[in-house]
Amino acid sequence: MDPRRLREDVERLSDDRLRGRPTPSPELDEAAAYLVQRFAELGLEPLAGAPDHRQRFECGGDAHPGPASNVLALLPGRDPAVADQLVMVSAHYDHVGERPGGEDSIYNGANDDASGVAAMLAIAELLAASPPRRSVLLVAFCGEERGLLGSTHYAAHPLLPLDRVVAQVNLEMLGRPDPDAPGLAWITGMERSELGEWLAAANVGTELRFVDAMEIGPVEGGAFERSDNYPLALQGVVAHSVSTGRLDALYHSPDDEADTLDYEGMAVLVEGIARGVHHLGEAQGQPGWIDPPE
């Protein structure tokens, strides 16, 4: 994988011109248009229920009225017998917008979560070159920073049946790996299901390691309920977020900018997660819950 491609996507989404991508906003819509263009470049298909790749609704909730979109695409599986089964790969493309205060009022959200979106696109590109048997559903959510509103809407109005989703791999903040622990990714709520074992099994013999978020720290350990995996998990989908590094000083800061990311380190992680997604798409069976949320 070319780290420059990751950098291009992160730079584009976190550019000051998009003013921190609040939900809803013309700038978030511009980011959505960029994702549609990228999906088309990768040869991915729209879903029947969203022919323009957009699921449009009031994604900012009552407090922030106006339409915005989840942006979706499908990589069809190569085996007709199981192509109706889905591995879901997701990330949120919104961020918190602008906040008055210091010299720089724009919260760029380069790591949170332009990095996850860039990773999702890179995984789609890798898998499109060699599609697994099952299909892969790619979703960029709006409204995460308003309270998981895009994923909550999708969980209530799925465009493909949720009982066909074998797992959701939600990507959050993959751009700043710990320099002392390259190849270390953490999974929120990992002990709750078998997903971590599945991702690890696809990476035997590589430098990648997956640990429970609790091993990083208490804040990370409490993140299972704080990202776009959670609304799907509540519907029974084995759904977790994968991240790296720490929730550092740049978290929700105007300094979370594209030039603070380590694209070489990120590429190693993204390749490993792609191997995990391919394994989920290729294998018989699927990961189960050990301790599902209620």
The contact set with Zn ion (CB under 5 A) reads 112-113, 172
Q: What is the DSSP letter of 97?
A: -
E strands in 86-235: 86-92, 135-141, 165-171, 184-187, 209-212
Structure tokens that stand for 61 in this block: 């909730």
Q: How far is the CB of 251 from Zn ion (least distance, A)?
A: 9
97-128 burial, b if ≥16 CB within 10 A, otherwise e?
A: bbeeeeeeebbbbbbbbbbbbbbbbbbbbbbe
Nearer to Zn ion, 85 or 111 (CB): 111
Nearer to Zn ion, 70 or 203 (CB): 70
Q: How far is the CB of 228 from Zn ion (least distance, A)?
A: 8
CA distances from 138 to 2, 132, 182, 215, 217 (A): 20, 14, 26, 28, 29
Q: How far is the CB of 77 from Zn ion (least distance, A)?
A: 28
How many Å apart are CA 149 and CA 90, to the nearest integer? 14
Nearer to Zn ion, 87 or 174 (CB): 174
Nearer to Zn ion, 29 or 172 (CB): 172
Structure tokens that stand for 35 in this block: 């994702």
Nearer to Zn ion, 112 or 262 (CB): 112
Q: Which residues pair with 88 in a beta bridge?
A: 137, 168
Q: How far is the CB of 265 from Zn ion (least distance, A)?
A: 19
Q: How far is the CB of 130 from Zn ion (least distance, A)?
A: 29
